[in-house]
Structure 1
Amino acid sequence: MGSRRRWVAIGAALGLVACGIAATIAWQAGLWGLLTGAILVSLWLAALNYSTVVRPRGAAAPIVSAGADAQAIVLRVLLDAAPTPLLGIEGTTGRALNRAARQLFATDDHVLPLPTELADPCATHLRHEGRSWRIDRVTVTGGGDVAALIDIEQEERVAEARATADLIQVLGHELLNGLSPIVSLADSGAAAIERPVVDIDLLREILGTLSRRAEGLQRFTEGYRALARLPAPTRALVRLREMADDLARLFIGRWPAASLSIEVADDLCWPLDRDQLDQAIWALLQNAAEAADSDTDARVTLRMYITATGLTIEIEDAGAGVPPDAATRIFRPFHTTKPDGTGIGLSLARQIALAHGGTLTLQSHAPTRFRLTLS
């Protein structure tokens, strides 16, 4: 029994050290969710260590080593310095466990009065001091909860900053890729004109290539503008079969060699922005048609149906499918594997779905099936 306790204590101690390292890295990187998780796991390990090592009540007091004391001090310092407010909650009583919590609630110990959301074990969000917080709870040994308050606005700012940095990087990359050959072709054209005998065929070829590159850059810029300036949807009740039939006529005119199957009930209606949904579904149909076009079985299916959660729209093709390693990148703005693609279609379709309170996901790799949901 003593050996088992010793190994449990050693495992808990190693876990605390690992949590301390993870918390330090998370703090430096601004990963507050990871930091909170490391702290909560540390608390659980500390409680496990205490319940395992300390003798039952009535027995002689255990001998605490100097290493355990140092470990407890490090844990308390780390807990107190954590930027995430942590509170211990038992029923309607709350205590501030670290400096961030004491500053937030202007207290040295008990939080008086305890906000209703913190006393409610089912509550997940709190509005306090003009800021929105997410409540992450964990039940500790001996009863009660430890609640970590995650600053939602701070998370949003960090995510926005990262998204902006990624967008700037993509824009810079695409613009340079588009401008570099244009500059090179312009220099070649100028050099061709300076020759004693102007080669008209060469000059025509240079200008034609220059025109195509400029048009490609223009399409990219227009796609970015469409993605960045998507207006709020204006919803109206739409007969979905009528919308699907209109898209089918356009599809047949654009891809006569492919077959499009429509699976939509005649009486199905749903409130949506038809212009935006036409654009989103068309982008998915275009993606499906181009994928199926290279296959001998060029079939595309468009189906719409209503579930308990809302309207579901699925577009499926019989093409080669999306490689698993590319599944996480296909919705990124400007990501494309097509020579003349802009990488806007799927990203814009997802933005339209989100604006309607829905989602756009890749449900199946082979055959490829996209699912767009609206609430």
Structure 2
Amino acid sequence: ACVFDAGGQILGTVGVLRDLTEQVATQRRLIQREKLASLGEMAAGMAHEIRNPLGGIKMATNLLSSGAVDDRRISQEMAQSIMSGIAEIEAIIADLLDYARETRLECQEYALGRVLAPVVEASTAEAARRGVRVEAVRLDDELVAAVDGPRLRQVFANVVKNAVEAAERTPDARVTVTLYRRHAAAVIEIVDNGVGIEPEHREKIFLPFYTTKPTGTGLGMAIVKKIMDLHGGEIDIDSVPGRGTTVRLVIPRSPVPAAVEVG
């Protein structure tokens, strides 16, 4: 601040200096603590997911090595159980690497309906076996956006798979997929009439290894959010427990760089 004399002339200035060293150090400690807590949660989640198939592998291996199983058919079943457990662990590791690794988008102009249609078609047969009807209500074939097609297809597949699993065992179980324009964005809407999401779970579904399902790694929606963030998109979720869930994937239609690299 300036200091003036009686005639209004500036005599000098007065300033106040504050030492923020301790405040900055405290903020850094808090950030580090949050990072460690997040890492701890991820490690605990991964350990839990891997421990389950490892338990089955250990039990089958012990039985085979003990010589207690002399029935060839049972031995083959045990060996198959071991292979299934290994495949499950490999899937967990693959999902974790996909989530953690540096991701580079290769974007080009895609008709979003053509990206989405194969996902709907591929999920129809598996959903039918679960008693769920999957249908595309409206897919705008002329709706174009600059996206990474394979990555975006991965997003669609994850969300549709979750919707099918949520609707399973529901009377008249169904999942509907719609693609439409909203201002300068494209919206992919996936609606199911399944169990819905409880409010206390809604904010956690994008956390790595967080899941309320008996199977799955809990990384699917974390990967979905990562890919959508890279595209500059948004995910809106409306859900009513016992009535179903609506997921809206909002993707900007404005051109984006041909290659976007994010760590």
Higher relative contact order (CA 8 A, sep 6+): 2
RMSD over aligned Cα atoms:
3.1
Residue 209 of structure 1 aligns with which residue?
81
CA deviation profile, 1:67-87 (whole Å, cap 9, x unmatched):
xxxxxxxxxxxxxxxxxxxxx
Report the 3-state secondary structure (helix = DSSP H, G, I; strand = E; otherwise coil) of the residue aligned with 2:195: coil
Report the 3-state secondary structure (helix = DSSP H, G, I; strand = E; otherwise coil) of the residue aligned with 2:172: coil
1:349 to 206, 209, 224: 224
Matched, 1:367 2:239: no
| Conserved 8 A contact 1:349-1:360 | no
Shift in Å, 1:156: 5.7
Structure 1 distance, partners of 2:169, 2:16, is 63
Residue 314 of structure 1 aligns with which residue?
189
4+ residue runs of structure 1 moved beyond 6 angstroms?
Answer: 148-155
| 1:230–1:361 distance in 2 versus 1, CA, 3 Å | farther
CA deviation profile, 1:284-323 (whole Å, cap 9, x unmatched):
0111112223212222122233434633322111112122
Shift in Å, 1:159: 4.1
1:348 maps to amino acid? I
| 1:364–1:271 distance in 2 versus 1, CA, 3 Å | same
- Structure 1, unmatched stretches of 5+, are 1-92, 105-147
Residue 207 of structure 2 aligns with which residue?
332
Residue 239 of structure 1 aligns with which residue?
111
1:327 maps to amino acid? R
Shift in Å, 1:277: 0.5
1:275 maps to amino acid? P
| 1:185–1:96 distance in 2 versus 1, CA, 3 Å | farther
Shift in Å, 1:274: 0.8
| Conserved 8 A contact 1:291-1:317 | yes
Structure 2 distance, partners of 1:320, 1:185, is 35
Output aligned runs, 1:1-375, within 5 Å. 96=16, 98-100=18-20, 157-191=32-66, 193=67, 195=68, 198-229=70-101, 231-256=103-128, 257-308=132-183, 310-365=185-240, 366-375=243-252
Shift in Å, 1:171: 2.0
| Conserved 8 A contact 1:361-1:370 | yes
Higher percent of residues as helix: 1
| 1:352–1:165 distance in 2 versus 1, CA, 3 Å | same
| 1:355–1:206 distance in 2 versus 1, CA, 3 Å | same
TM-score, normalised relative to structure 1: 0.55
Structure 2 distance, partners of 1:242, 1:95, is 64
Shift in Å, 1:352: 0.6
| Conserved 8 A contact 1:360-1:371 | yes
Higher percent of residues as strand: 2
Residue 49 of structure 1 aligns with which residue?
none
Which of the two has higher C-alpha Rg? 1
Report the 3-state secondary structure (helix = DSSP H, G, I; strand = E; otherwise coil) of the residue aligned with 2:106: coil
Between the aligned residues of both structures, percent identity stands at 24
| 1:324–1:245 distance in 2 versus 1, CA, 3 Å | same
2:19 maps to amino acid? R
Structure 2 distance, partners of 1:212, 1:346, is 24
Structure 1 distance, partners of 2:26, 2:157, is 39
TM-score, normalised relative to structure 2: 0.75
| 1:171–1:244 distance in 2 versus 1, CA, 3 Å | closer
Structure 2 distance, partners of 1:150, 1:171, is 31
Number of residue pairs matched? 235
Residue 70 of structure 1 aligns with which residue?
none
| Conserved 8 A contact 1:301-1:317 | yes
